[in-house]
Amino acid sequence: MKVFFVGAGPGNPELLTVRADRLLRNCRICIYAGSLVSPAVVAVLPDNAERHNSAEMNLDEILAVCRSAREREIDVIRLHSGDPSIYGAIREQMNGLDELGIAYEVVPGVSAFQASAAALKVELTAPEIAQTIILTRTSGRTPLPEEQDLDKLARSHATLCIYLSGHKVGEVTAALVPHYGPDCPAAVVYHASWPDEKVVAGTLGDIAGKVEQGEFGQTSLILVGRALARDIPASKLYDAAFSHQYRKGKPS
């Protein structure tokens, strides 16, 4: 018997990995992360699969399901939104399984920041502009370490992908404008890849006003950075005059 921590991806079941899809289609017991997992992904489960909504459960109750499954010699799918390693709270679950002597495995998935970039049709990196992507969030009931607050991270001028912060767009933009400038590209994406996906693109100077006109909840993702622009210098990778290991450049 084994517990599989499976990444449900951003929402569209076609963005499940082949392995995740196979595990779900053969699943007999699934503990899924409540409303964070798209109903379309949960629908991949067999009709007779035992379902448990972890939004209504504490850690002991989750581990109790795994313990019961071991007694019945049935594998468990622990279905997390996006990729389990990003805000998945899987550490304490794995520690609990270690104490119970239950084997487990992690199956990665596509994260919301990747699906959001796809929805926006942008690249998150750009030569000489941003070669670093920071995945972060704003403080809430779970506070940020002081050295990781937005004001400090923004000094890097990296591309920021800010999770669980769609309800704080005004607060986020106010913190970032001094570092990136009001004309810096910014976007908010709600339910990336879901049927009800919403995308608002703009700048740090106007994105808060645009979002106020829509309905964007806490689970929306905010993306900020100069690399999000399309009118920036092209990389040298495909420049005809640029030589590298596999191609000799042509004189201009």
Give me the chain's average pLDDT, please.
Answer: 92
Q: Does 223 lie in the same domain as 120?
A: yes
At residue 167 the predicted structure's pLDDT band, cuts being 50, 70 and 90, is confident
Quick one: how far is CA 101 from the chain centroid? 30
Per the domain annotation, does 242 fall within a domain? no
Q: Residue 126's closest CA among 226, 240, 202, 244? A: 226
Where does a domain end: 107, 135, 162?
107
Sheet with 76-80, side-by-side order of all strands: 50-53, 29-32, 76-80, 2-7, 103-107
Sequence letter at residue 8 = A
Q: How many folded domains does the chain comprise?
A: 2
Tens of pLDDT along 194-204? Answer: 999 999 999 99
Q: Does 130 lie in the same domain as 100?
A: no
Where does a domain end: 84, 107, 130?
107
Per the domain annotation, does 247 fall within a domain? no
Alpha helical stretches, state H, the chain = 18-25, 39-42, 59-71, 91-100, 112-120, 150-153, 169-180, 207-212
Q: Does 85 lie in the same domain as 129?
A: no
Question: Residues 122, 22: contact at Cβ < 8 Å?
Answer: no
Predicted pLDDT at 214: 60
Predicted pLDDT at 152: 94
At residue 103 the predicted structure's pLDDT band, cuts being 50, 70 and 90, is very high
Q: Does 65 lie in the same domain as 13?
A: yes
Higher pLDDT, 247 or 39: 39
pTM of this structure: 0.90
Q: What is the CATH number of the domain that holds 190?
A: 3.30.950.10
Higher pLDDT, 247 or 96: 96
Centre a 10 Å sphere on the Cβ of residue 123 and count the other Cβ atoms it contains.
Answer: 15
Per the domain annotation, does 18 fall within a domain? yes
Q: What average pLDDT score do residues 72-98 get?
A: 97
Tens of pLDDT along 54-73? Answer: 999 999 999 999 999 999 99
Q: Does 65 lie in the same domain as 118?
A: no
Predicted pLDDT at 218: 81
Predicted pLDDT at 15: 98
Tens of pLDDT along 113-166? Answer: 999 999 999 999 999 899 999 999 998 777 889 899 999 999 999 999 999 888
Q: Does 150 lie in the same domain as 78?
A: no
Q: Does 123 lie in the same domain as 86?
A: no
Q: Which tokens in the block code for residue 142?
A: 């779970």
Percent of residues, the chain, with pLDDT higher than 90: 81
At residue 222 the predicted structure's pLDDT band, cuts being 50, 70 and 90, is very high
Range of the domain at 6: 2-107
Per the domain annotation, does 118 fall within a domain? yes
At residue 38 the predicted structure's pLDDT band, cuts being 50, 70 and 90, is very high
Predicted pLDDT at 241: 55
Where does a domain end: 92, 107, 122?
107
Q: Does 152 lie in the same domain as 64?
A: no
Predicted pLDDT at 13: 98
Higher pLDDT, 231 or 4: 4
Q: What is the CATH number of the domain that holds 31?
A: 3.40.1010.10
Per the domain annotation, does 185 fall within a domain? yes
Q: Does 69 lie in the same domain as 13?
A: yes
